[in-house]
Copies of this chain bind each other. A is one copy, B any other.
Amino acid sequence: MLQDIAHNSIGLVETQYYAFPQEAGEFRLSSGQNLPEVTLAYETYGQLNPAGDNAILILTGFSADAHAAGRSKGDPERIGWWDSMIGPGKAFDTNQYFVICSNALGGCYGSTGPSSIDPATGTPYASRFPTISMEDIINAQHKLVCWLGVTSLAAVSGASMGGMQALQWLVSYPDMVRGAIPIACSAKLTALALGINEVCRVAILADPDWRGGEYYGKSVPQSGLAVARMAAHLTYVSAAYLESEFGRRRMENFSESARDLGTFDVQGYLRAEGESFSKRFDANTFLTLFQAIEQFDLNLHEGGLEGALARTTGRVFLLSFSTDWLFPPYQLAELEVALLHVGAPVSHISVETPFGHDAFLTDWTKIDPLVRAFLDARP
């Protein structure tokens, strides 16, 4: 499934950090609160043209960092999470486009978030980090993109929370977006997704190391984070994928009498996923971004979903996955209908795949030709 990265690779890249200029004042959030300092982690691939209009902005999902393509300079074994799609000659072709990937505000991979130092106190924000909305996340990106010299975006694209950001770009900066490829996302979470989120949230809060979010410098709520990730991870894959990949295969040396440990491979796989995540992710960021995702609802705009998307001028290409139960294809069909109604050029393809939500990573060969066709057809 993984592409041969020896070919078409953009090579070593280094994550950059853009600190908003202090003279611009505080960064105003949609809640009315301000952030005195904002830094965004980002990477760029390819060259911006003199007109500043050949840029493609890649938006991260919930747990991804800004390292979307190439090998990390500090750790060459670390290949970008969407390296399959970004590079010279690839779907997001860095020979043609200036590709930017920015980590989300509120995150824990170099962008300002709850683990950042609050200049007012000299200690991490922790529970005092303000509420962040999807609008805030893309408003911060907008500043970054403008500072980079971009005048117009050939495309914005991302999956999951990244797709929500792409939609928010259409709402907030319609004149700047010539194309959008929101993938496996929606204008609002389903009730089931809200329910699963609550399982994750309560799992973190149940960890005594959570301490109301004030755990920096102490033991972190790792076991709660692991449980949360296990629950969330199940929504990223499909029942069919788990069945064909793991079925009821036993772990080696399993013990049927071990009541406190699952004996099946799929259970070991999930535990490993939870454990590795819990070592690299920040619990306050988890809850901060979950909140942004849950509160995101374009239907709440004046005029509803159509009102929100009414100013869309770019072309929109919606991609859903047939077995995605976190963002079922019908949710993208709802977006398609709204975009049709407001007169925006829109296509929606529900890709047949057994891989579920994560198909944008694991079944990328199916979306690669579709994304190429969409981008090539641009005026």
A residues with a Cβ closer than 8 A to B are 31, 127, 130-131, 188-192, 194-199, 201-203, 205-208, 212-213, 223-224, 226-227, 230-231, 234, 239, 242-243, 245-248, 256-257, 259-264, 266-267, 270-271, 274, 287-288, 291, 294-295, 297, 325, 328
Contact = CB atoms under 8 A, between A and B. Distances in A.
Contacts of A247: 191
Given A191-B239, A257-B31, A199 B227 contact: yes
A247 B199 CA distance: 17
B227 A202 contact: yes
Nearest to A231: B199
A212 B260 contact: yes
Contacts of A196: 234
A242 B328 CA distance: 14
Given A31-B257, A197-B262, A263-B294, A192 B239 contact: yes
Given A130-B257, A201-B261, 9 more contacts: A188-B248, A192-B239, A201-B260, A203-B206, A203-B227, A206-B226, A206-B227, A212-B260, A260-B287
B205 A260 contact: yes
Contacts of A239: 190-192, 325, 328
A203 B206 CA distance: 9
Query: Which of A195, A243, A267, A270 has its CB near the most chain B CB atoms (within 10 A)?
Result: A195
B259 A195 contact: no
A262 B201 contact: yes
A32 to B, nearest CB: 10
A262 B198 contact: yes
Contacts of A260: 201, 205, 212-213, 287
Contacts of A226: 202, 206
Contacts of A262: 194, 197-198, 201, 294
Contacts of A188: 248
A231 B201 CA distance: 12
A233 B243 CA distance: 21
Contacts of A248: 188-189, 191, 194, 297
Contact of A206 (B207, B213, B266): B207
A231 B200 CA distance: 9
5 contacts: A194-B266, A199-B234, A202-B230, A208-B208, A239-B328
A212 B367 CA distance: 47
Contact of A234 (B192, B224, B264): B192
A206 B224 contact: yes
Contacts of A223: 202, 206
A205 B207 CA distance: 11
A202 B271 contact: yes
A248 B261 CA distance: 36
A242 B294 contact: no
A259 B227 CA distance: 18
Contacts of A207: 206
Contacts of A194: 246, 248, 262, 264, 266-267
Nearest to A229: B199
A263 B293 CA distance: 12
B242 A191 contact: yes
B256 A295 contact: yes
Contacts of A231: 199, 231
Contacts of A199: 199, 227, 230-231, 234, 270
